[in-house]
Amino acid sequence: MKPIRSIGIILDGNRRWAKARGLPSFEGHRQGYETLKKLSDEFPRLKKTYGLEFITLYAFSTENWQRSADEVEFLMQIFGRAFQEMLETLSKKVPEEKQVRFIVAGQKERFSPALQKLIRDVEEKTKDFTAGTVCLGLSYGGRAEITQAVSSLMKDGAEATEEEIGKRLWTAGIPDPDLIIRTSGEMRLSNFLPWQGVYSELFFTDTFWPDFSVSELEKIFAEFQERNRRHGA
């Protein structure tokens, strides 16, 4: 079985899930958060079974700031709640197999000071955890990521090599994803990991993110095993 060390997931379809049920879009985001927690709980097993060590989740894009003020505010509340819950969990003894490192990739400076502090606290408290890494793309955009990496390169006067640019990406240290999944039926990457995903296997499912399950993820893993990855060879 080919190991699946790193994956990326575009969490899409929360609003359409809610609309299909006659619910406000906020409920879709709320249920999407519950789905995310279920996936995080299964991380240790997925690592043991498939070798999975890194999950990068596209939760809020640089373009998502253009949504209504009410929706953006609700999403910020969900993010704040998520990091607060993490800190509460970390205040207790976490079993070694569940000691997952959390990092955020994106324009952290665009968030409120309170949310920035929560993010820093979670990143600091989990920085030495070795059970796996969850990277949350928050105010993330691939073009913005590459732009800031090139700006850093120019500022340092470094040579423009793939290695030097890679070291300056928000996702530095995370292996390129073996596969990228997008839920909800849309068949595009929408500015997600354009540098890192050049050789990723792509999977698109019609399932809205709130209905996405670990069992469906494992079906995708099974299909991945049938693909022949040549990396241009």
Distances (CA, A) of 29 to 25, 135, 219: 7, 19, 24
pLDDT average, residue stretch 67-74: 96
- CATH number, position 116: 3.40.1180.10
- 57 inside domain: yes
Q: Is 156 a catalytic residue?
A: no
- 193 inside domain: yes
On whether the CB atoms of residues 9 and 52 are closer than 8 A, the answer is no
> Could you report the per-residue pLDDT of 126-181, keeping only the tens digit for each?
999 999 999 999 999 999 999 999 999 999 999 999 999 999 999 999 999 999 99
- 102 inside domain: yes
Task: Report which of 124, 125, 101, 104 is spatially closest to residue 53, judged by C-alpha positions.
Answer: 101
The structure tokens listed for 226 are 């049938």
- 232 inside domain: no
Is pLDDT at 32 greater than 80 in this prediction?
yes
Separation CA 106–CA 121 (nearest Å)? 16
- 233 inside domain: no
Answering whether pTM is above 0.75, one says yes
For residue 2, the model assigns a pLDDT of 87
**Domain count for the chain:** 1
On whether the CB atoms of residues 70 and 148 are closer than 8 A, the answer is no
Tell me how far apart the 2 most distant CA atoms of the chain are, in Å.
Answer: 55
Sign (positive/negative) of CA torsion 74, 79, 82, 87?
negative
Write out the residue range of the structural domain in which residue 95 sits: 6-226
Separation CA 37–CA 32 (nearest Å)? 9
Separation CA 41–CA 37 (nearest Å)? 6
Q: Exposed, middle or buried: residue 157 (CB in 10 Å: 0-12, 13-18, 19+)?
A: exposed
The pLDDT confidence band at residue 233, using thresholds 50, 70 and 90, is: low
- 111 inside domain: yes
> Could you report the per-residue pLDDT of 33-46, keeping only the tens digit for each?
999 999 998 999 99
The residues that bridge with 8 in the sheet, in sequence order, are 56, 180
For residue 78, the model assigns a pLDDT of 96
For residue 116, the model assigns a pLDDT of 98
- 112 inside domain: yes
The one catalytic residue among 12, 14, 178, 191: 12
Distances (CA, A) of 9 to 20, 36, 39, 207, 233: 22, 11, 11, 13, 26
Cβ-proximal residues to 33 (8 Å cutoff; 6+ apart), any chain: 78, 81, 82
For residue 229, the model assigns a pLDDT of 78
> Could you report the per-residue pLDDT of 184-229, keeping only the tens digit for each?
999 999 999 999 999 999 999 999 999 999 999 999 999 999 998 7
- 21 inside domain: yes
Task: Report which of 134, 140, 122 is spatially closest to residue 58, judged by C-alpha positions.
Answer: 140
The one catalytic residue among 14, 41, 64, 228: 64
On whether the CB atoms of residues 17 and 31 are closer than 8 A, the answer is yes
Q: Is 64 a catalytic residue?
A: yes
> Could you report the per-residue pLDDT of 76-105, keeping only the tens digit for each?
999 999 999 999 999 998 899 889 999 999
The pLDDT confidence band at residue 1, using thresholds 50, 70 and 90, is: confident
Is pLDDT at 10 greater than 70 in this prediction?
yes
